[in-house]
Structure 1
Amino acid sequence: MKQRGFTLIELLVAITVLAIVAVLGWRGLDSILRSRTSLTQQMEHTRGIQLSFAQMQNDLEQLASRDDLAQRKNLQADNQRLVFVRTQSPDHGPTQLVVVSYRLRDGVLTRRESAATRDLAQLDVLWQVATADSDPGPSVALQAGVSSMNVRLWVNGAWVAPSNGSSTGSTGSTTNADPTGLEMSLQLTNEPNPMVKVLLLGDA
């Protein structure tokens, strides 16, 4: 009995079908890998922002009251930076005051902390240095890829968007009362929606 093999055309058709299946399979795998990479990056960014918010919350919960500062400024905010005075209690030591600055510069959110002091005159110098962006101390990068930062203050039962350089505890304040809460909104590059966190100020 004569055995019949594959013809050249049948082999070409089979190879073509296998090639099409291989291409489709590669595209599907490539799509999965790209999605996984994108998801991993989003999770890393989310984790970084959450850690930044946690640091802000810890700082702002220790916001120094104006009474402790002899009615000096205790917070200044705009959409590029957040500067405030917080208390710090070292182990077995007296409470000290520290000027903390959060800034958005070149897409990076940073945190800087001044030296601790109990001298209000020295605190005035540290405050002026911080608000003038001339602090020579090192800053800590908290999150990269931040395209914008927006701050609102909770004052007298309503959200108030501070104007550039507005502060609390000064004669030039844009509000009639001290804020009790702060809303921080950070927009990440290539993300559709900002990440928002509401923070209490001091023991409010």
Structure 2
Amino acid sequence: MASCARHARARATFFHQNGAARGFTLVEVLVALAIMALMAVMTWRGIDGMARAQQATREHTDGVLALQAGLGQWRADLDAMMVWPLPSTATDPANATAQANSPAATRSLAWDGSVLRLTRASSRAPGDGVRVVAWARRPTGEWLRWQSAPVSAQNAWASAWEAAARWGQAGAPLLPPGAPAQAVQIGRLTDWQLHYYRNNAWTNPLSSAAEAVAGGGSSTNSAVPDAIRLMLTLAPGQPLAGALQVDWVRPTLGGGS
């Protein structure tokens, strides 16, 4: 009997001590809560940092892709550049000089130091005519591309050609939806220049008085140069900044088709 009583007291003491060991004091609870709060803050900051890094990566990638698309469009415009054909009704040899000096015969490419205009084949199905394209830099630095609707008559082309010049003179504004022409921003520049490759040398298109239009004050070339060098100074704060040079070579140079 005495032995059973001792065993019962021992079990009671064990259960009492074991139950007391499983409890937590207020200090321990507060410390645990503080540790969990710190871990939650660190986790949130890590997730926030990852989200910001992903956003910055997306913005950088989008900016680079937009610039690549713009330069691809630049090359496509030059590849499709053409000399406007002479009017079919002007076949009199006595009018040869007038035909050679007519805007329709000469203005396939014009650069006045701030706006480049060119005539290119329409990217749509053959027979849709041609487009007038203009590239310009705004005074605030935005580099934009303007294009007309497809035209197939000389008068329509002349109107589009002059509209491109007015667009550049007005500061290259973006156009409202539904306008007959379109303007798209490519990027931001602090400066841009063009050089033409002719007679085995790079030259400034504005340096020759023979290339200036009489009374017009712009550079107009009747023949497509062998190559065109585009020199851009990309504005800071973009995915790519600094100097960038892009060379275009006429596809038919050297007898290519």
Instruction: Tell me if both proteins adopt one fold, taking TM over 0.5 as the criterion.
Output: yes
Is contact 1:77–1:151 with CA below 8 Å preserved after alignment?
no
Give the letter aligned to residue 188 of structure 2: S
Q: How many residues align?
A: 197
Provide, for residues 160-190 of structure 1, a one-character-per-residue CA deviation record: whole Å limited to 9, x for no partner: 6667xx9995356499x94612326373662
Identify the residue that residue 153 of structure 1 maps to in structure 2: 195
Identify the residue that residue 113 of structure 1 maps to in structure 2: 148
Identify the residue that residue 228 of structure 2 maps to in structure 1: 181
CA distance in 2, matches of 1:78, 1:11: 77
Provide, for residues 28-74 of structure 1, a one-character-per-residue CA deviation record: whole Å limited to 9, x for no partner: 11010011011112222222222222222221112224897946233
Deviation at 1:10, TM superposition (A): 1.7
Is contact 2:134–2:146 with CA below 8 Å preserved after alignment?
yes
Give the letter aligned to residue 146 of structure 2: R
Counterpart pick for 1:101 among 134, 141, 155: 134
Which stretches of structure 1, 4 residues or longer, exceed 6 Å deviation after superposition?
A: 66-69
Q: Which runs of 5+ in 1 are unaligned?
A: none
In structure 2, the CA distance between the partners of 1:89 and 1:34, relative to structure 1 (3 Å rule), is closer
In structure 2, the CA distance between the partners of 1:90 and 1:6, relative to structure 1 (3 Å rule), is closer
Structure 1 SS opposite 2:106: coil
Give the letter aligned to residue 151 of structure 1: Q
Structure 2 SS opposite 1:137: coil
15-24 vs 188-197, which deviates more?
Answer: 188-197
Give the letter aligned to residue 150 of structure 1: W
Whose strand fraction is larger, Structure 1's or Structure 2's? 1
Give the letter aligned to residue 82 of structure 1: L
Alignment partner of 1:139 is 2:221: no
Identify the residue that residue 190 of structure 1 maps to in structure 2: 237
CA distance in 2, matches of 1:51, 1:168: 35
Structure 2 SS opposite 1:132: helix
Higher CA-based Rg: 2
Counterpart pick for 2:107 among 56, 73, 76: 73
CA distance in 1, matches of 2:181, 2:76: 20
Whose helix fraction is larger, Structure 1's or Structure 2's? 2
Counterpart pick for 1:31 among 49, 52, 56: 49
Deviation at 1:100, TM superposition (A): 1.1
TM-score, with structure 2 as normaliser: 0.58
Alignment partner of 1:170 is 2:212: yes
Higher relative contact order (CA 8 A, sep 6+): 1
CA distance in 2, matches of 1:9, 1:38: 43
Is contact 1:153–1:179 with CA below 8 Å preserved after alignment?
no
TM-score, with structure 1 as normaliser: 0.70
Is contact 1:74–1:169 with CA below 8 Å preserved after alignment?
no
Provide, for residues 125-181 of structure 1, a one-character-per-residue CA deviation record: whole Å limited to 9, x for no partner: 4322321227973314354xx322623324356666667xx9995356499x94612
Identify the residue that residue 248 of structure 2 maps to in structure 1: 199
In structure 2, the CA distance between the partners of 1:182 and 1:51, relative to structure 1 (3 Å rule), is same
Q: Which runs of 5+ in 2 are unaligned?
A: 1-13, 87-98
